[in-house]
Amino acid sequence: QVQLVESGGGVVQPGGSLRLTCAASERSFNIYRMAWYRQAPGKQREHVASISSSGSPTIADSVQGRFTISRDNAKNTVYLQMNSLKPEDTAVYYCNRPKAMVSWGQGTQVTVSS
């Protein structure tokens, strides 16, 4: 069974940066589109960014110009670089395969606060 493990979250001041990592436990990682999602307290989970198997990114309007997504197929890993963070980016961040969902991991908490 595929496992997704997110890490890299933390507490950061507005304007700061974080890099999130999602490690997947599967050999066929490279064939899947991967995505980052986030869920803020009291809100539904939302798509943040996704990346095709060949590395083509799609970024949500709300984070366009601030977040970038990348992947390293050799390491079965996808990254989310978050810059110019805002308080409204505070959420638990998750990764998954948008076209072949697996069980959600534990996520990684990102808190943006002064």
pLDDT in tens, the chain (114 residues): 889 999 999 999 999 999 999 999 987 888 899 999 999 999 999 999 999 999 999 999 999 999 999 999 999 999 999 999 999 999 999 999 999 899 999 999 999 999
> Do the Cβ atoms of 80 and 36 come closer than 8 Å?
yes
Task: Give the integer Cα–Cα distance in Å for 82 and 73.
Answer: 20
What pLDDT shows up at residue 27?
77
The token duo for 92 is: 């638990």
Task: Give the integer Cα–Cα distance in Å for 46 and 26.
Answer: 24
Give me the residues paired with residue 96 across strands: 35
What pLDDT shows up at residue 69?
98
The token duo for 107 is: 């996520």
**At 43, is the secondary structure helix, strand, or coil?**
coil
